[in-house]
Amino acid sequence: MTNTLIDDAGLTSAGVPKIRFDRVSKVYDTDSGQPVIALSETSIDIAEGEFLCVVGPSGCGKSTLMQMLAGFHHPTSGRVLLDGVEVRRPDAERGVVFQQANLYPWLTTRGNVELGPRIRGVGKAERRTRAEHFLSMVGLAAFADRKPYELSGGMQQRAQIARVLANDPEVILMDEPFGALDALTRERMQVELLQIWRERRKTLVFITHDVDEAIFLGTRVLVMSARPGRVLMDLPTRLPVEIPSAELRTHPTFVELRDTLTEAIYRAQDGAAQ
């Protein structure tokens, strides 16, 4: 695992951004023969330790962006670089939380959470400790021995999040991970995720439809335009740390950010309607 320092320009000690989308575009071929331009040529640099949230209308290419960073899809043009090296395939150092949970049905919840560390050679006792820690973090300690089909959709999603965190990847990619959760659980998971990010300084890329969630979590928010996607707004969102969390959402800085982002998303949607 690399452990590089970030300089003021957001570069790692190797002198490169942690993640770079270098003039990346994506066109999907379809069965109808009509290609879909999911992403226009886009360049984005993401610093090590940054918490980047991506918002934008449905179908604007957010998941496509993430799938290319994960290594599941390849750009049609341009390159996606991690630590200056082109991403070509999925890797355990990039943990992905998908919109839908994808647990292995033949393993217990605990077995699912322990699998990644097991593959990476983590010893049995340490694996068990990690699994227990993250399962209780997501409120599933009592369900460790259950199979996925015995869990609700929201519980499966929380198990998926525990599985990715237990694997301790350098970069965490989350595609609307909290969309299926009830409001209270969602809020708790947001706080926990922020805590993990603060403690471990992972580089995090997080897709959401929820502007408040993006402001609460992100150090920076990208607003993408309607398809073909491109970056419409790139806004640093670091909130003053002294704001008590109960007052956060009504704090003038938060309200101002919300207004700016909401207006940009409306603009992006208007583009979609034309």
Ligand X SMILES: Nc1ncnc2c1ncn2[C@@H]1O[C@H](COP(=O)(O)OP(=O)(O)OP(=O)(O)O)[C@@H](O)[C@H]1O
Q: Cα torsion for 39, 45, 47, 51, to the nearest 10°?
A: -30
**Least CB distance from residue 268 to ligand X, whole Å?**
11
> Under DSSP, is residue 238 helix (H, G, I), strand (E, B) or coil?
coil
Nearer residue to ligand X within complex by CB, 64 or 157: 64
**Least CB distance from residue 191 to ligand X, whole Å?**
24
* Other Cβ atoms closer than 10 A to 178: 25
Residue 224 CA to residue 271 CA, distance in Å, equals 11
Nearer residue to ligand X within complex by CB, 30 or 274: 30
**Residue 70 backbone phi and psi in degrees, to 5:** -70, -25
Say if CB 108 and CB 144 are below 8 A apart: yes
**Residue 141 backbone phi and psi in degrees, to 5:** -55, -35
**What does the binding site for ligand X look like in residue numbers (CB under 6 A)?**
28, 30, 36, 38, 58-64, 227
**Least CB distance from residue 253 to ligand X, whole Å?**
27
Please measure the distance between the N-terminal and C-terminal CA atoms of the chain and give it in whole angstroms: 46
Nearer residue to ligand X within complex by CB, 103 or 223: 223
Nearer residue to ligand X within complex by CB, 58 or 245: 58
**Least CB distance from residue 186 to ligand X, whole Å?**
17
**Least CB distance from residue 135 to ligand X, whole Å?**
28
Nearer residue to ligand X within complex by CB, 158 or 227: 227
Distance of CA 15 to the CA centre of its chain: 24
Pairing of strands 220-224, 203-207: unpaired
